[in-house]
Amino acid sequence: MGRITKEQVSSAYQVSKEVFKGNLDRKKGILILSEKHRLNKNSAKDFVNCFKCMMEGRIFYRAMSHTAMDHFIGNIAEGFSSEYLKNALNALEKHINYWEEHYKTRAISMREVLYKYRNDNPAFTTAESLQLQFEKDVSKSIHLSSTERLRNIGRSNTKPEQLTVISKVYMRNPHVVAERLSIAAGICERCKAKAPFIRAKDGTPYLEVHHKQQLSDDGLDILENTIALCPNCHRELHFGKSD
Block means of pLDDT (10 residues each) for the chain, 243 residues, are 85 97 96 95 96 95 92 94 89 92 88 83 60 77 88 81 66 91 96 96 94 90 96 92 63
Evaluate whether residue 158 is within a structural domain. Answer: no
**Same structural domain, 105 and 191:** no
**Same structural domain, 109 and 182:** no
Evaluate whether residue 58 is within a structural domain. Answer: yes
Closest of 119, 44, 133 to residue 84, by C-alpha = 133
Evaluate whether residue 22 is within a structural domain. Answer: yes
**Same structural domain, 14 and 95:** yes
**Same structural domain, 21 and 107:** yes
pLDDT at 204: 93
CATH (domain of 231): 3.40.1800
**Same structural domain, 26 and 111:** yes
State the pTM of this model. 0.55
pLDDT at 243: 54
Evaluate whether residue 92 is within a structural domain. Answer: yes
**Same structural domain, 108 and 14:** yes
- Which residue among 121, 141, 158 closes a domain? 121
Task: Supply φ then ψ for residue 62, to 5 degrees.
Answer: -80, 130
- Which residue among 121, 136, 153 closes a domain? 121
**Same structural domain, 101 and 178:** no
- Which residue among 98, 121, 144 closes a domain? 121
Integer CA distances (angstroms), 71 to 11, 51, 191, 209, in order: 11, 12, 51, 46
Range of 178's domain?
174-239
Number of domains comprising the chain: 2
**Same structural domain, 103 and 194:** no
Q: How many CA atoms lie within 13 A of 199 on its CB side?
A: 10
pLDDT at 120: 64
Alpha-carbon distance 103 to 84, whole Å? 28
